[in-house]
Structure 1
Amino acid sequence: MHMPNEVLSPAVAGGFIAASAAGLGLAAAGARRSFQESQVPLMGVMGAFVFAAQMVNFQILGATSGHLGGGVLLAILLGPHAAALVMAAILTVQCLIFNDGGLLALGCNAFNMGLVAPYFGYGLYRLILGRAEGQKSAGRLYLASFTGALVGVAASAAVVPVQIALSGMSAVPFGTFFPLMVGIHLLIGAVEGAITFAVVAYLAQVRPEVLGVQVAGRARLSRRAVVGSFAVLALLIAGLLSLVASGLPDGLDFLIEGRKFSRHAENEEAVDPTMAKVSAWQERTAPLPDYRAGEDSPAYWTSIAGLLGTLATLGVVYGIAAAVRRRDAQGHAHTH
């Protein structure tokens, strides 16, 4: 669901860059207030895990595909504020290194996947869980995880037709685009819900305190072992599982390119000149466009790109976590 530059106008792109910057600023402030030292390694590793998982598209309905978004999963494990920062880091790495998502569309992508999905999905997750205090049943925890992830994906997808329509780039009526976009992503969201459920179920069994809620169970693995298990899994997904990912277009590309729901699909002149120039610059400067060394590069380059991206995301997110920790420590020092 990474939007390209071509489906947006400069005004809409700029407006959402500003909105996302403001939202991420508030998220950073919120993350500092609720920050815990133990979150630093978990933030880095879960960012790397979500980056790797996003490389693996799974087939939907025989004509399109989807992949894990990860925003709600991150919110469940880290809180929505930290999740927003991690998602912004992932999207930035994907955009700058792999030309995955437009540079001027980064504000829209960060708004949709980095703000709407984590906050909306996590809000529903907490609503289903009920009051913060008291032990939660496993069934309620799993239902909340699945439903929050599913609805988070659908909510973020629902914003895309609005952004394209505001840009004047939609080639079909809003009443056609909107339900199809949301419908496809409800199916994708169901798979995301299942993955989120599986991760939460695993953590509930081996380290329930990571979830931040009281559930029946005892710690069978140390926190370090949990972090290590996700680090290994991220590397395996990026290095191996990415090779068997579906090559079908994702839900958004299927509609804007395959079904020609965007005006740019049939008429390149419909693209704003500024957006076209930025896209051309991105294609020239991205080190590993489309997760390859070039159009004719062998398949193993996908693994190399995935591993490099996973490590880059780990480093960027760890840096963000360290910065939040430092600002939090400074804030505490000023209050004493």
Structure 2
Amino acid sequence: MIKFTIPGTGSSGHIGGGILLASLLGPEAGFLTIASVLVIQCLFFADGGLLALGCNMINMGFFACFIGFPFIYKKILKSGFTPTKIMIASIVSVVISLQLGAFGVLMQPIHLAIGLVEGVLTGCVLIFIYNAKPELLVGYDGSTVKENVSVKKVALVLVIVAALIGGGLSLFASANPDGLEWSIQKVTGSTELDRSSGVSDALGSVQESTAFLPDYAFKSDSENTVGTTVSGIVGSAITLGLAALIGFGASKVKNSSNHNSKKHA
């Protein structure tokens, strides 16, 4: 929902968030969170088809969490964390991750500009966390002692910012087609591809039945304002709930596995 215009192209870009999530949660949990976001967008907001869900997870989640984060971001910060290094690591890892994802759908140039913007925004968030609670950053070595700020305060700030962006700033999102839609339009003349099989039709019907805010809007909301605000806030809340549920389930499985291992030992 955070779409910004790319000058001179007639296109827009949106934030993926893979490097940001991997930097805070680790690559595995970061990938699961990206997957949760994509599932919620697909089912509840009809954004991205069910047949494209796997490709979206790979292009937007896998490359960032399992290639960009461990092999670029962490390598740049291996010798220590500073605001400058965090910004450089964010920009380089985001740009390369997006280029790898864009290569899968053959649209590199437009995603170079998108990656630069997302890299800067990612760096700004991570620098804020570094200044407030650096131990929340994956890989931080604890070499610099910071003022004792509680995790709850940092989390509260992030929740408030997410609500303001999803519920307010999203109203000013660019109306231009995003990078993928723009690329499709260049080839076919339309931003959408026609369904060409019974499977596509069947899955499209499923999506139409589950999406309560298709395209982030109420059908009766001609100005597309209330629906967008509700979508941003509700979508963020559902994502948080699903991610927490997955984390709770994973911790239960891990604890059970550790308990069984100790019993056998």
Q: Structure 1-normalised TM-score? A: 0.71
Q: For residue 289 of structure 1, what is the aligned residue in structure 2? A: 214
Q: Is 1:234–2:162 an aligned residue pair?
A: yes
Assess, with a 3 A threshold, how the Cα gap between structure 1 residues 283 and 202 changes in structure 2: closer, same or farther.
same
Q: Judging changes above 3 Å, is the alpha-carbon distance between structure 1 residues 125 and 265 closer, same or farther for their aligned structure 2 residues? A: closer
Deviation of 1:304 (Å): 1.0
Change (3 A) 1:267 1:92: closer
Q: How far apart, in 2, do the equivalents of 1:64 and 1:135 lie?
A: 37
Structure 2 matches for 1:46-65, cutoff 5 A?
A: 55-62=1-8, 63-65=10-12
Give % identity.
Answer: 37
Tell me the equivalent position of 2:60.
113
Aligned partner (choices 312, 316, 332) of residue 242 of structure 2 = 316
Q: Find the residue that maps to 1:136 and give its secondary structure.
A: coil
**Matched position secondary structure for 2:149:** coil
Number of the residue aligned with 2:149 = 221
Identify the residue that residue 96 of structure 2 maps to in structure 1: 151
Q: Give the superposition deviation at 1:220.
A: 4.6
Distance across 2 between alignment mates of 1:142 and 1:304? 32
Confirm or deny: 8 A CA contact 1:87 1:114 kept in the other structure: yes
Out of 35, 38, 47, which is 1:100 matched to?
Answer: 47
Aligned match of 1:81 = 28
Could you tell me which residue of structure 1 aligns to residue 74 of structure 2? 126
Alpha-carbon offset, residue 252 of structure 1:
0.5
Structure 1: how far apart are the matches of 2:87 and 2:62?
A: 23
Q: Secondary structure at the match of 1:105?
A: helix
Unaligned 5+ residue runs, structure 2?
none
Are the counterparts in 2 of residues 208 and 219 from structure 1 also a CA contact under 8 Å? no
Paired position in structure 2 for 1:142:
87
Query: Contact 1:138 / 1:216 at 8 angstroms: preserved in 2?
Result: no
Q: Give SS of 1:260's match.
A: helix
Q: Does 1:332 align with 2:238?
A: no
Shift of 1:203: 1.1
- Indicate if the aligned counterparts of 2:213 and 2:227 stay in contact, CA closer than 8 A: no
Matches of 2:49 and 2:221, distance apart in 1: 23
Which structure ranks higher in relative contact order (CA pairs < 8 Å, sequence separation ≥ 6)? 1
Q: Deviations over 1:27-58 (max 9, x none)?
A: xxxxxxxxxxxxxxxxxxxxxxxxxxxx1100
Shift, 1:267, TM fit: 8.1
Partners of 1:210 and 1:265 in 2: CA distance: 40
Offset, 1:250: 0.3
Partners of 1:200 and 1:267 lie apart in 2 by 37
| 2:88 counterpart letter in structure 1 | L
Contact 2:44 2:211 in 1 (8 A): yes
Rate the CA distance shift 1:148–1:322 in 2: closer, same or farther, 3 A: same
Mapped partners of 1:261, 1:105: distance in 2: 18
CA-based RMSD: 2.1
Q: What SS class does the counterpart of residue 5 from structure 2 fall into?
A: strand
Correspondence 1:244-283 to 2 at 5 A: 244-256=172-184, 258-261=185-188, 268=194, 271-283=196-208
CA contact (8 A) 2:177 2:191 kept: no
Task: Answer with 79-88 or 111-120: which moved more.
Answer: 111-120
TM-superposed deviation, 1:79: 0.9
Q: In 1, Cα distance between the equivalents of 2:227 and 2:245?
A: 27
Q: Which of 304, 328, 332 is the matching residue for 2:230?
A: 304
Which amino acid counterpart does residue 126 of structure 1 have in structure 2? K
Gaps of 5+ in 1: 1-54, 161-177
Contact 1:239–1:303 (CA under 8 A) maintained in structure 2: yes
Deviation track 1:270-295 (CA, whole Å, cap 9, x = no partner) reads x3342234224423442110011116
SS of the equivalent of 1:66 reads strand
If the length of structure 2 is used for normalisation, what is the TM-score?
A: 0.89
**CA distance in structure 2 between the partners assigned to 1:194 and 1:86 by the alignment:** 21
